Amino acid sequence: MIPAAFDYVRAGSAEEALAALAEHGDEAKLMAGGHSLIPLMRFRLVTPGVVVDVGNIDGDLRGIRVDGDVVRIGALTRHSELEHSTDLAASCPLLAHVASVVGDPSVRHRGTLGGSLAHADPASDLPAAILALGGSLVARGPGGEREIAASDFFTGFLESALAPDELLTEVRVPVSTGGWNYQKFNRRAQDWAIVAVAVSDGGKGVSLVNMGSTPLRATAVEEAVAGGASAAEAAAHAADGTTPPEDLNGDADYRSHLARVLTERALNAAGLA
Amino acid sequence: MAVTEDTTNAGGIGARMLRKEDGKLVTGESKFIDDIHVPGELWMGMVRSTMAHARITSIDTSAAASMPGVHSVLTGAQLADMDLWAAPLPCAWPVTDDMANPPHWPVVPEVVHHVGDIVAVVLADSRYQAADAVEQVIVEYESLPAVASIEQAIADTNLAHTDLSTNKAYTWAIAPDPEGTQAAFDAAAHKVSCRFVQQRLIPAAMEPRGVLAVPSPMGGDITLYSATQVPHILKVMMAATTGIPENMIRVVAPSVGGGFGAKLNINPDESLALVLAHRLGRAVRWTETRSEAAGSTHQGRGQIQHVELASDANGKLTAIRVKIDADMGAYMMLITPGTPLLGSFLYHGVYETPKFSFTCEGWFTNRTPTDAYRGAGRPEASYAIERAMDMLSYEVGIDPIEIRRRNYINGGEPFEMWENPAGIFFDSGHYTPTLDRALEMADVAGLRAEQQARRDAGSSKQLGIGLCTYVEICGLAPSRALGGLKYAAGGWEHSTVRLLPTGKVEVVSGSTPHGQGHETSWSQIIATKMGISPDDVTVLHSDTAKSPLGLDTYGSRSLAVGGVAISMAADKVIEKARLIAAHQFEAAPEDVEFTDGSFSVAGSPSKSVHIQELGFAAFSAHDLPDGMEPNLQEQVSFDPPNFAFPFGTHVAVVEVDEDTGGVELIGYFAVDDCGNQVNPMIVEGQVHGGVVQGAAQALYEIAVYDDDANITNPSLMDYLVPSAAEMPSIVTDSTCTPSTTNPLGVKGVGEAGTIGSAAAVINAVVDALRPHGITDMKMPATPMRVRRAIEAANGGAS
Ligand SMILES: Cc1cc2nc3c(=O)[nH]c(=O)nc-3n(C[C@H](O)[C@H](O)[C@H](O)COP(=O)(O)OP(=O)(O)OC[C@H]3O[C@@H](n4cnc5c(N)ncnc54)[C@H](O)[C@@H]3O)c2cc1C
């Protein structure tokens, strides 16, 4: 609970942040809302030499813009801003809703969308939403910008396709107002999901939280839906190919069972009979 | 006297007065231990054992000792050589003459007995430097087999303490007639035999424990600030175990953010801070981290209960036999061995039984010591009997409400001084009204109809309704009774009431608040007694220099013992003031009346003086009756003649999602009877918090140890303390059956909510699942556990 010593750099712009990353290399760690990083530092599970604070950078890195059929969201946009944005509620209600069930109000006022994605925690809510929506992420590094599909982004437990010298700047999701639902199952309102299921566009996009080492797309369910299966038939495939974690809240069998129950509920709520 | 709620009097007994403490608390003006700093203070960093049972083979402190800001690093062996202690940490309750009590040193010299045992201490200029240095201390161990559970302790294959011959610490029994009890079982029309597990709980007060010892090298004395519930007991125990003379030790409990029993102990850190500060002549401090607390602060519960009930064909009890296996953990702390026994007298609950037998065996394990946690022994007892009564009702085939009515003490009619089968006297009780009121408030009839409708419709969300009609024992305690139970101290409480020269009143309280609102309640008692405004009353407490005598706060004793002492001391002040008034009136004292704060002569109302005006007369002492000492200050040590026995009925309503196994507590109704209430708002607050703590045991909390006796969930991410979001809006009401134990007619209420709620919630969960043939559910009723029970009842996974 007492972090090791570290240096602190406050970046005023994306350029300053990238410069600090270049200067300090492996020693440096970006901090946005700090709500995943600081707990790890307090347990001394990570001990960065330099913390580069990007949490106060404004401008394009923050805010929600609907641009034709794409919604562009600055990576530093906080969960509470997603939760309360009327633009987002109209253009991508699934994402606004998912943001509203992350943690508790104080977490949502600090945590950022980019931080949640970069942290790549399979138990987090927002990565699943972006996956189900078929979104993409924009990363800026020394070599310029690149766009990474969400389905390519999560590479392992707390690991992503992001390079250590890259900064997430934007998240893009399609405007999506078809049938959607999010089923989050946990024991306390403020907790991470034991299992959760996100459904977008009447079942075209389905993703799973805490059913493997990364946030997952439930491809077997998506295929069943595409093939005309009922909600119950499609949901029976929810745990196919997954390797759910085991902890005090649930073993693998129980998580698989939950995934099936929640998927059926989510598909039903999203309009699939 | 039965006091009903007083809405006219803004500040006396019975008023819902807002708490005097809250302004300071919500504005941050209150000082907690971590807010107090002194120049030159050193932080302790504890090097804690990572093994549950092991012999230390080497400790290398050299790297740590040379780190920046580090003053010194001391191992247990080095500390033992420094001759800092006169005795190991104390256990005040050796429950039997032959109880095993292995030495518990603040820092282990040779063998560690639980994960978290301290093996070395770092002293550094800052908390961060101390934490950095702790990481650099290299400890090597030779592992010894660990006892990781009660079952393993009973097996006695491995020993938690290798120099003992068994893990059993003691056997304690109240078994007046074993043969008769057995005969009752042999003849019974119905029997149930239940095994319940009281899981270990982490007390998790909002403020962690902390300590700061400040020596006064020239003065020779030393002040120990501690986040403690028991400054007076701590002072005596520190003197006894360190050899520092008691008159040189002052203990101060600053604002304390909750205790729930976890702050009534005498802890290694407190002792270490004191002796090191004394030896070094420098202030020494420490604050536990949340994860550290799992090994540095005692835990609650930890029992396996075997409960057998026998009844006649109508469900009328004929015998109760109880056997408890209680987990002591690694050491006997202050009241570790006695904690399970605090419930021993209550395993028959609110029911009459001709035969009763109770046996408890205490077992050592290599886990954090257990000790008092809100309710201490009584939640376990009420859980056992209330769960078992439901199981008996299934067996007999009658409603859980009906089986309770058939068995209530005195047929549910009012009683006083009823002798229970364990030989103690319940002061007063009247059980039917709390049941009737709770059933009405919850609309149990309507809920039953809704439950049936959902069952008929095959809904996946089933309703469950659970009942608990509890009694508890509090107001600890008559000193002689404690002596009989081999408890080392008494159970009195002390108070001084002072009428100051300007008419204000100072109350010195021996009981020590840590969130309960003593300043408010004591002011209300004085307001009613002396006829003055509660704003004119100041309460001094929690500092042995201001309040030298006291036995502190635990066991729902503050009002029923300490509050009574205050009212008695106020009576004495009034009596002395009456003599001064009579002297001024030139009247006989027996002709002087006292009403609403004023003295007057019977029959001549023009002659009158307010008691507050007499403060100056007593202070100036110019014209007091011959031979009277100056000043108006009186003290009382009240030793209660009996315990107090609050009771009540709680109804829990749950919704069980049969597909996920998720349980939601959707309604909670509590009708408690704690006798007369000084401040009904404070009573409700205590009930609310207590109910949540019991519901937390039922649904959320468990300290999970692995096979090597490591705790696996020490952080609040994995140890699930529920928040307001998980709780329904709790509906409360009360009945009033005054205690016959004390002149205020009060009982305690600090633990009642916890004592009633775990059984009510689990009874509700089981009630929801009855159509599956399910009769019991282990705590906590996690979604996975509930779902598995449904699957098992229906022949495997679905
Ligand atoms: C009590 C509590 C409860 C919570 N409950 C939930 C929950 O229910 N569901 C849930 O999903 N989450 C939950 N969270 C996590 C929360 O949502 C975090 O805020 C979020 O996961 C991380 O966002 P952040 O901005 O705080 O990231 P930070 O903690 O600042 O950073 C996290 C990681 O991302 C990297 N990073 C941050 N921003 C960028 C960027 N722009 N580019 C590249 N890398 C970056 C950092 O270097 C770090 O490795 C909870 C957190 C807490 C403390």
Given CATH 3.40.50.300, say whether it is the number of domain A7-52: no
Beta strands at A136-141 and B300-311: parallel, antiparallel or unpaired: unpaired
CB-nearest partner of B704 from A2, A188, A248: A248
Determine contact, residues B483/B639, Cβ cutoff 8 Å: no
pLDDT at B220 over 90: no
Interface A–B counts its CB contacts (< 8 A) at 60
Nearest CA to ligand 1 atom 49: A119
Quick: pLDDT tens for A62-77.
999 999 999 999 999 9
Sign of the C-alpha dihedral computed for residues B787, B791, B797 and B798 taken in this order = negative
Nearest atom of ligand 1 to the alpha carbon of A184: 8
CA B783 vs CA A181, A189, B295, B657, B699: distances in Å: 22, 14, 28, 9, 9
CB contact under 8 A, A188 and B659: no
Closest among B687, B301, B644 to B473, alpha carbons compared: B644
How many whole angstroms separate alpha carbon B789 and alpha carbon B299? 28
Residues 6+ apart with CB under 8 A from B637: B492, B493, B494, B549, B565
Listed in order, the ranges of chain B carrying CATH 3.30.365.10 are 22-30+492-638, 303-476+642-793
What would the two tokens of residue A265 be? 């509920």
For residue B219, the model assigns a pLDDT of 85
CA–CA distance from B792 to each of A60, B47, B280, B393, B656 (Å)?
55, 45, 63, 23, 16
Residue nearest to atom 6 of ligand 1 (CA): A103
CATH dotted code for A61-174: 3.30.465.10
Q: What is the residue with the minimal CA distance to atom 37 of ligand 1? A: A115
Ligand 1 atom with the smallest distance to the CA of A61 is 41
Provide ipTM, 2 decimals.
Answer: 0.97
**Residue B604 — very low, low, confident or very high, per pLDDT cuts 50/70/90?**
confident
The Cα–Cα gap between B554 and B514 comes to: 10
- For β-strands B118-124 and B70-75, DSSP reports them as antiparallel
- Over residues B348-372, mean pLDDT: 98
pLDDT interval class at A117 (50, 70, 90): very high
**CATH 3.90.1170.50 domain position(s) in chain B:** 33-144+209-287
The residue type of A105 is P
Give the position, in ligand 1's atom list, of the atom nearest the Cα of A127: 11
**What torsion do the CA atoms of B151, B152, B156, B158 make, to the nearest 10 degrees?**
-170
Look at the block and give the residue holding tokens 């419709």: B457
Q: Which CATH number fits domain B303-476+642-793: 3.30.420.40, 3.30.365.10, 3.40.50.300, 3.40.605.10?
A: 3.30.365.10
| A153 to A18, A75, A120, A161, B557: CA distances (angstroms) | 20, 15, 9, 5, 60
From first CA to last CA, the distance across chain B in angstroms is 60
Report phi then psi at B50, rounded to 5.
-100, 0
pLDDT tens-place string over residues A134-187 = 999 999 999 999 999 999 999 999 999 999 999 999 999 999 999 999 999 999
- Percentage of residues in chain A having pLDDT higher than 90: 98
In the predicted model, is pLDDT for residue B2 greater than 80? no
Closest C-alpha among B739, B743, B748 to residue B565:
B743
> In the structure, what pLDDT confidence band is assigned to residue A218 with cuts at 50, 70 and 90?
very high
A187 vs B: CB within 8 A: yes
CB-CB neighbors (< 8 A) of A5 in chain B = 128, 132
Flag if A261 and B659 touch (Cβ within 8 Å).
yes
pLDDT bracket for residue B4 (50, 70, 90): low
Name the percent of chain B lying above pLDDT 90: 96
Yes or no: say if A194 and A94 are a contact pair by the CB < 8 Å rule: no
Q: Within B342-399, where are the H helices?
A: 378-396
The CA R_g of chain A, rounded to the nearest whole Å, is 18
* Residue owning the nearest CA to atom 10 of ligand 1: A124
Task: For the beta carbon of residue A228, count every other beta carbon within 10 angstroms.
Answer: 8
Is residue B217 very low, low, confident or very high in pLDDT (cuts 50, 70, 90)? confident
- Residue B795 phi/psi, 5-degree rounding, is 80, 40
pLDDT tens per residue across span B88-117: 999 999 999 999 999 999 999 999 999 999
For residue B501 the two structure tokens come to 């020269």
Q: Which of A106, A254, A263 to mutate to test the interface with B (most CBs of B within 10 A)?
A: A254
Q: What is the percent of chain B where pLDDT is above 70?
A: 98
Q: How far is the CA of A71 from the centre of ligand 1 (A)?
A: 21
**Token pair recorded at residue A126:** 């927002």
Ligand 1 — pocket residues by CB below 6 A?
A: A 29-37, 39, 54, 75, 102-103, 107, 110-112, 114-116, 118-119, 124-126, 162, 167-168, 190-192
Confidence band (pLDDT; 50, 70, 90) for B1? Answer: very low
Tell me the C-alpha distance between B665 and B8, whole Å. Answer: 36
User: Looking at residue B159, what is its pLDDT?
Assistant: 98
Nearest CA in chain A to B720: A188
Does the domain made of B22-30+492-638 have the CATH classification 3.40.50.300?
A: no
Beta bridge partners of A31: A53
Q: How far apart are CA B370 and CA B152, in angstroms?
A: 17
Does the domain made of B33-144+209-287 have the CATH classification 3.30.70.330?
no
**Of the partner residues B127, B292, B725, the one whose CB lies closest to the CB of residue A189:** B725
How close is the nearest chain B Cα to the Cα of A145, in Å?
A: 37
User: Of B127, B659, B782, which has the smallest distance from its Cβ to A2's Cβ?
Assistant: B127
User: What would the pLDDT profile of B272-292 be if each residue is shown by its tens digit?
Assistant: 999 999 999 999 999 999 999
List all residues 6 or more positions away from B701 whose beta carbon is below 8 Å from its beta carbon.
Answer: B199, B201, B202, B719, B720, B721, B780
Which pLDDT tens digit goes with each residue over A237-255?
999 999 999 999 999 999 9
- Give residue B108's region: left, alpha or beta (phi > 0; psi -120 to 50): beta
Do the two domains A7-52 and A181-269 of this chain adopt the same fold?
no
pLDDT the model gives residue B603: 86
pLDDT in tens, B670-723: 999 999 999 999 999 999 999 999 999 999 999 999 999 999 999 999 999 999
- What's the whole-number mean pLDDT along residues B389-418? 98
State the average pLDDT for chain B: 96
DSSP H helical ranges for B249-297: 268-280, 293-296
What integer best gives the mean pLDDT of chain A?
97
Q: Is B292 on the interface with A (CB under 8 A)?
A: yes
Q: Residues 654 to 683 of B: which have CB under 8 A from any A CB?
A: 659-660, 662
Write out chain A in H/E/C secondary structure.
CCCCCCEEEECCCHHHHHHHHHHHHHHEEEECCCCCHHHHHHCCCCCCCEEEECCCCCHHHCCEEEECCEEEEECCCEHHHHHHCHHHHHHCHHHHHHHHCCCCHHHHHHCEHHHHHHHCCCCCHHHHHHHHHCCEEEEEECCEEEEEEHHHHEEECCEECCCCCCEEEEEEEECCCCCCEEEEECCCCCCCCCEEEEEEHHHCEEEEECCCCCCEECHHHHHHHHCCCCHHHHHCCCCCCCCCCCECCECHHHHHHHHHHHHHHHHHHCCCC
How would residue B9 be classed by pLDDT, with cut points 50, 70 and 90?
A: low
Given an 8 Å threshold on Cβ–Cβ distance, is B722 in contact with A188? yes
Rounded Cα distance, B262 and B265, in Å: 7
Q: Where are the domains of chain A?
A: 7-52, 61-174, 181-269
Q: B7 pLDDT exceeds 90?
A: no
Does the domain at residues A181-269 carry the CATH identifier 2.20.70.10?
no
Alpha carbon distance B605, B589 (integer Å): 15
Q: How far is the CA of A179 from the centre of ligand 1 (A)?
A: 28
Q: What share of chain B is helix, strand, coil (3-state, %, to 5)?
A: 30, 25, 40
Of A98, A102, A137, A167, the one to substitute when testing ligand 1's pocket (max ligand atoms within 8 A of C-beta) is: A102
Q: What is the pLDDT of residue B588?
A: 96
CB contact under 8 A, B718 and A5: no
- Give me the pLDDT at residue B8, please: 46
Place of tokens 């007065």: B17
Q: Report the alpha-carbon distance of residue B122 to residue B499 in Å, rounded.
A: 49
